[in-house]
Structure 1
Amino acid sequence: MNLGFQSTIDYGGVGRFTTELLKELGPLCEEITVYPTPISVDDPTSHQWWTDMPSNIKIAEKKGLVPSLIRDSFRFGDHDVIHINYASYGSPAIVNKLARDIPFVFTHHYGGTPTEMSSSIKHKFEYLVEQSIFLPLVCRTGHVVSVSEYNAGRLPKYVNADVIYHGGSSNLFEQTSPKNLDSIGLSSDENIILFTGKLHGFKDGWTTIKGFEKANKMFSEEIKLVLATGSGGYDAESIHEYLETESVFDDQIVLIKDIDDVTLHTLYEVADVFAFPSYAESFGLVFLEAMEAGTPIIHSDGGAAPEIVSDAGIEIEAKNTQECAEAIVDLIDNEELNQELKKRGYERREEFSWKKAANKYYKIYNNI
């Protein structure tokens, strides 16, 4: 099979999905050509995650929006099947389906209403355009796969999507070694709460921050919060302003914007608690990363978190800062609970595999 795969090569959930899935799809296909989206890094092959790729995987040059849409519209015709990951970049797949009857698979990574996803007017508009115009077009012409049952429920009612789970980030721990804690301003004898991910509204960094502040008032020992947020997020500006001007615990909050796999590995392993109360997460690769590291999880009852984490974490009501604080204190103060959730996390993590995901996608490629 000759597969065309349009996606983003960059840090983030879709970037991790792309690189990990391709490594497993390579041995199943005769040839794969990757078409980087305009939001990929400038040189995708130099990205940290673009390593150990099978030799039959080629990558096209990264181009701007209009040149990439033109290029993809012509080049997609060279393949047996196309796989796209964004509805808004999917017009070349639609063109080739209608003009040449070349089938395509669309993985639905994100859903939700504009208000739910961000407080930014600009990004609300982008979500509105994606959901109301591009999503219906790709859903009516392609084969749809969702990354969770929850996310499938956010698709139009006429869509009968397959659900294929991600496989985690095992390479994060297999191919890296922890770095010196002093270099990131932490010590192994501190009580550390970790939040990883961009500060988008739906990921709800606010509840983690407010819960952390309340937990500090409830607990006799000092607690530190590490916000590993990378390049920021839609709500980063307002959160940064709050931390700089209003929070009385700003000296106990470590904000890390420069993140690589070594830093992530270190943070997961040193953290006592992983607090990620996102209320609209489509899947949550970070949950699998925390399980892999043996870091107990606090998650909300919203989004795909209950589906992915199952009984391997503490579930709180979405946006409930008091419940978040109580869960933080429980996990720091109760070693028996801490160890039990670690054990459940290791067991739950075994149910997710990129090899399993690749085999399911390959079966779909052959049947459409």
Structure 2
Amino acid sequence: MHQAVGALSRLPTSDDAGERVELTVFSASWRDRLADSADPLPDGVGWIDRRIPFRTLNRAWRRMEWPPIEMLAGSAFDVVHSPEPLLIPSRDAACVVTIHDLDFLDHPERTEREARRDYPRLVRQHAHRADRIVVPSAWTAGEVARRLEVPPGRIAICRHGAPDLAPRASIPADGHLLFVGTLAARKNVAGLIDAYARLVQLRPEVPPLVLAGAMPDGPAPDWRTRCDRPPLAGRIRFTGYVDGPTRDQLYAGARALALVSFDEGFGLPVLEAMACGVPVVASNRGALPEVVGDAGLIVDPDDTEALAGALDRIITDDALAERCVARGYEQVREFTWEASARALCKTYREAVAARGVG
């Protein structure tokens, strides 16, 4: 969301319809999160902070739809945009929500406790009440229209922009295979490890596998103990959560990225990888084919042999890897934060018109 706010703030003073766009970020926390942030808000963006525990406020919004944002902010707005699938209560403003994916409907056990309780019950209701719904991909738009029975005309696709990462001079011959993301079940880490184990048996000199992301709360999954036993012992590195600079270093040293999720509303790691010249192996599920295009290898995440074969090809066929890198640079040019910001501005105007605000 921070990137989108920054892109909106960099647009010309007036949007395409000649209307001034003024942004205000609302935050609620006992601590001064934004003031202490290493990534502060852009110039010209307002900030309203209330010292209220966010969990308490979120619970009141979800269960009572109170208090309205105007009461907390001491100001009126034309549009109130929630970065999650549930509306922020408002007296008069047009309301916009963001739906990244619908995994919480299929697998509520993968979400935090409050979302597990509230999302299946409330998201459909709020989607029907929202003036506009923002989604990051055409695939998510189709899922929202079909499964939540929302008219397609009320759904706006605002794709993420590519990060500004420096291209690499070449693919490192001694680079690692890389996964970036939370080590959650829907990311199919177990399937990736199965495929990597096949690859180790086929090619003992295979590069190490780096899993860059936090492990979800709860008992360790079965695949975790496998990584400490032959033939995988010593070959797989777990980094835990990584910050931006560490993530960039991991991309710089990667032979290839593998993201073979069962479901992705967008799949930002593949865009990050392509932006800095890392070949990509991705699954054919969710929005991943839409983001990767023809710039990577697309596989069925349930087919271990196909996944192992794709990983083998990307690390042994230098010509293929270089073609993927070249096409990746072309593909990321289709994803800009300016285009996303303009799509958001258009969405806000449509929401205001639908609500009759102003």
TM-score (norm 2): 0.81
The structure whose residues are more often helix, as a share, is 1
Q: Which among 217, 220, 244 is matched to residue 261 of structure 1?
A: 244
Partners of 1:283 and 1:146 in 2: how far apart?
Answer: 9
Task: Note the C-alpha offset of 1:234.
Answer: 5.7
Partners of 1:235 and 1:191 in 2: how far apart?
Answer: 32
Q: Which among 93, 102, 105 is matched to residue 96 of structure 2?
A: 105
Question: Are 1:31 and 1:56, in contact at CA under 8 Å, matched by a contact in 2?
Answer: yes
Q: Which among 12, 24, 37 is matched to residue 47 of structure 1?
A: 37
Q: Which amino acid letter does the alignment assign opposite residue 134 of structure 1? A: V
Give the direction of change, closer, same or farther, for the CA distance of 1:287–1:234 in structure 2 (3 Å limit): farther
Indicate the residue corresponding to 2:355 in structure 1: none
Indicate the residue corresponding to 2:83 in structure 1: 85
Give the direction of change, closer, same or farther, for the CA distance of 1:41–1:164 in structure 2 (3 Å limit): farther
Question: Are 1:112 and 1:154, in contact at CA under 8 Å, matched by a contact in 2?
Answer: no
1:217-239 alpha-carbon deviations (Å, 9 max, x no partner):
1124232000001x323688216
Partners of 2:191 and 2:82 in 1: how far apart?
Answer: 33
Indicate the residue corresponding to 2:150 in structure 1: 158
Give the direction of change, closer, same or farther, for the CA distance of 1:337–1:24 in structure 2 (3 Å limit): same
Give the direction of change, closer, same or farther, for the CA distance of 1:128–1:148 in structure 2 (3 Å limit): farther
Q: Which amino acid letter does the alignment assign opposite residue 268 of structure 2? A: L
Return 5+ residue gaps in structure 2 as ranges. 12-19, 62-66, 352-358
Indicate the residue corresponding to 1:65 in structure 2: 55
Task: Note the C-alpha offset of 1:61.
Answer: 4.0
Q: Which amino acid letter does the alignment assign opposite residue 86 of structure 1? A: E
Partners of 2:179 and 2:222 in 1: how far apart?
Answer: 13
Indicate the residue corresponding to 1:352 in structure 2: 335
Task: Note the C-alpha offset of 1:59.
Answer: 4.5
Indicate the residue corresponding to 1:148 in structure 2: 137
What secondary structure, in the 3-state scheme, does the structure 1 residue paired with 2:249 have?
A: helix
Question: Are 1:148 and 1:164, in contact at CA under 8 Å, matched by a contact in 2?
Answer: yes
Q: Quick one: percent identity of the two aligned structures?
A: 24
Partners of 2:224 and 2:254 in 1: how far apart?
Answer: 25
Partners of 2:142 and 2:320 in 1: how far apart?
Answer: 33
Question: Are 1:85 and 1:109, in contact at CA under 8 Å, matched by a contact in 2?
Answer: no
TM-score (norm 1): 0.79
Q: Which amino acid letter does the alignment assign opposite residue 133 of structure 2? A: V
Tell me which moved more, 141-150 or 277-286: 141-150
Partners of 1:281 and 1:42 in 2: how far apart?
Answer: 32
**Pairing 1:36–2:27 present:** yes
Indicate the residue corresponding to 1:26 in structure 2: 9
Question: Are 2:101 and 2:265, in contact at CA under 8 Å, matched by a contact in 1?
Answer: yes
Question: Are 1:197 and 1:228, in contact at CA under 8 Å, matched by a contact in 2?
Answer: yes
What secondary structure, in the 3-state scheme, does the structure 1 residue paired with 2:234 have?
A: helix
Q: Which among 197, 201, 211 is matched to residue 195 of structure 2?
A: 211
Give the direction of change, closer, same or farther, for the CA distance of 1:37–1:345 in structure 2 (3 Å limit): farther
Partners of 1:147 and 1:236 in 2: how far apart?
Answer: 32
Tell me which moved more, 261-270 or 137-146: 137-146
Partners of 1:41 and 1:209 in 2: how far apart?
Answer: 40
Instruction: Report the RMSD for the aligned CA atoms in angstroms.
Output: 2.8
Question: Are 1:118 and 1:202, in contact at CA under 8 Å, matched by a contact in 2?
Answer: no
1:151-190 alignment to 2 at 5 Å?
Answer: 151-155=140-144, 156-160=148-152, 161-170=155-164, 172-173=165-166, 190=174
What secondary structure, in the 3-state scheme, does the structure 1 residue paired with 2:98 have?
A: strand
Tell me which moved more, 192-201 or 140-149: 140-149
Give the direction of change, closer, same or farther, for the CA distance of 1:366–1:262 in structure 2 (3 Å limit): same
Task: Note the C-alpha offset of 1:190.
Answer: 2.7
The number of residue pairs the alignment matches comes to: 326
Partners of 1:169 and 1:233 in 2: how far apart?
Answer: 26
Task: Note the C-alpha offset of 1:282.
Answer: 0.1
Indicate the residue corresponding to 1:297 in structure 2: 280
Q: Which amino acid letter does the alignment assign opposite residue 152 of structure 1? A: A
Q: Which amino acid letter does the alignment assign opposite residue 218 of structure 1? A: L
1:282-341 alpha-carbon deviations (Å, 9 max, x no partner):
001111101011111111111110111110110111222221111111111100000000
Give the direction of change, closer, same or farther, for the CA distance of 1:242–1:127 in structure 2 (3 Å limit): same
Return the index of the structure with the highest Cα Rg: 2
Q: Which amino acid letter does the alignment assign opposite residue 85 of structure 2? A: A
Task: Note the C-alpha offset of 1:247.
Answer: 5.6
